Amino acid sequence: MSPTPAVEFRQVCKRFGSVQANADVNLRIAKGSIHGLVGENGAGKSTLMSILYGYYRADSGSILLDGQTQQIRSSQDAIRLGIGMVHQHFMLVDQLSVLDNVMLGAAGGFRLAPQRVQVAARLRELAALYQLEVDPDALIQDLSVGAQQRVEILKQIYLAAHILILDEPTAVLTPQETHSLFTVLRRFQAQGKTIILISHKLQEILAITDQVSVLRGGRVVAEMATADTNAEALATLMVGRPVQQHLPRAAWNPGQVMLQVSGLHVHNAAHRALLKDVQFQVRAGEIVAIAGVSGNGQSELLEVLSGMRLPDQGTIKMAGQELPYRQRRDADGLPAHYRRLGIAHVPEDRLQHGVIKDFSVLLNAMLGYQEKAEKVFGLLDFKAIAQRCARLLTLFAVRPADPTLRLGLLSGGNQQKVVLAREIDAQPKLLLVGQPTRGVDIGTIESIHTQLLTLRDAGVAILLVSAELEEVRSLADRILVMADGRITGELAAADFDATRIGLLMAGADA
């Protein structure tokens, strides 16, 4: 590796209002290395990389590329300098082909047809070189999540990126897809390229990176060769205290059947089957986890069970009583009715279905439960509501613990804790939880898992949807696996087998 770093941050600072996101960050990324960046939610990792990619401008400090100070004022500047970024949420247009997505914003002029031929040939050449297995003519909507990620990487390679930033790249991948991704990254590194990997999965950081830097409170608190550390040491550095890897839990002692699903079918507007004859049950005092790659029916299942979507066929019973959706032509009003029955819902996509970023933390903490909020003479008692909200923020370790703050100023992990606090405070009988720790740091994971296990031990029925197999292993009493809209297998927690589950997640016989 060259002694001159590919990227160097010098005294970089960035503030958003009262929140100091980055504070005097000094960081060197060796050329030709895979460099891991870890830290709690709100530690400043994504902000720092967004400054490198031109989304934000630093308030002070400088960035050097190959030893030369650079002014990166926009993403166009970053791309011109050879910096590429693959986001956790892919920046692809589903209805367009791989070729069109690569050309989008990268090609121009009046004669696109000749360019299409040239770009398609170049993509096939690059796909073969890096063994990315991507068909330029395929539609994005027809590709698996892993294949879509390969498209994102291929696009950055086509744009001549020699510094590649990946933000939580394995959050939605099967174990097999993760292995394939790491193979691609090593090929990219072998070409002399530099990779910066943001991840909360410490075992993956240990498996793939050469160096690792830890951010806490917006500052770099440690830098080391990956070979010189371990998961426990990194977790302690991230959080500032030892983190429990295996949480205590009471013996499995399920009660009455709280949720009974039978013969559930759902189709989309194009008559494609999204759920196919789904049936299972969840008892009081147990956690049933549904493992699977996102996009295989889990989202639609949670939408149906929470009242956001009507099923085409099937029966759903809550504590023995059939849920009243058959008389309706649309789902208007059903979520509120289901909440009154004791069904709480932590949605998979908190930004789309769980919060309103421009509202205050206080308003988000009572969103959907206004009718249960404290009142005086029939009007909302905001003083009492603020006191309860402050108590919840403290209980769930939300930082900053300020009810008046706009929710969008909180990190993703702290936004997630606000949603969990709201739904758990409603004292549900059945809790539906979608991807509760996606993109969340290890300290927050410990907090969320502790809350879920406490609810389970108190007799609440919990249906957990997660693509994180370690999360499934840590929490589930029983495991269901979904692929292509159907249940492909069921395992007891004691029979946990990552390879078998991975195959079932891919729709294979296991």
Give the pLDDT confidence of 307-331 residue by residue, as tens digits: 999 999 999 999 999 998 876 777 7
CA distances from 61 to 32, 53, 396 (A): 24, 15, 34
Q: Which CATH code fits 7-239?
A: 3.40.50.300
Phi, psi of 270, rounded to the nearest 5 degrees? -90, 10
* Domain positions in the chain: 7-239, 257-505
pLDDT at 509: 64
Cα(84)–Cα(385) distance, integer angstroms = 45
Half-sphere exposure of 78 (CA within 13 A, CB side): 21
For residue 273, pLDDT over 60 is answered with yes
Q: Which pLDDT tens digit goes with each residue over 151-183? A: 888 888 888 899 999 988 887 676 777 888 899
Please state the separation of Cα 424 from the chain's center in Å.
Answer: 20
Which architecture does CATH list for 257-505? 3-Layer(aba) Sandwich (3.40)
Residues in the chain, total: 510
Phi, psi of 341, rounded to the nearest 5 degrees? -80, -5
For residue 7, pLDDT over 80 is answered with yes
State both tokens at 227. 């070979």
**Which residue shows structure tokens 């758990």?**
424
pLDDT at 396: 87
Query: With bands split at pLDDT 50, 70 and 90, how would you rate the model's confidence at 243?
Result: confident
Cα(386)–Cα(324) distance, integer angstroms = 34
Contact (CB, 8 A) for 43 and 215? yes
Contact (CB, 8 A) for 287 and 311? no
- Compare 290 and 134 and report the one with higher pLDDT: 290
Average pLDDT over residues 172-197: 87
Question: What is residue 227's three-state secondary structure?
Answer: helix
For residue 124, pLDDT over 70 is answered with yes
For residue 408, pLDDT over 80 is answered with yes
For residue 469, pLDDT over 70 is answered with yes
pLDDT at 362: 95
Average pLDDT over residues 73-85: 93
pLDDT at 109: 52
pLDDT at 177: 76
Contact (CB, 8 A) for 234 and 205? yes
pLDDT more than 70, % of the chain: 96
End-to-end CA distance of the chain: 43
The amino acid present at 164, given as its one-letter code, is L
Most confident option among 10-24, 61-75, 369-383: 61-75
377 forms beta bridges with: none
Q: Which pLDDT tens digit goes with each residue over 213-228? A: 999 989 999 999 999 9
Query: With bands split at pLDDT 50, 70 and 90, how would you rate the model's confidence at 205?
Result: very high
CA distances from 356 to 36, 352, 389, 400 (A): 32, 8, 16, 17
State both tokens at 235. 């977790």
Cα(401)–Cα(391) distance, integer angstroms = 9
Q: What is the pTM of this model?
A: 0.72
pLDDT at 409: 83
Please give the mean pLDDT across all residues of the chain.
89
- On the question of a common fold for 7-239 and 257-505, the answer reads yes
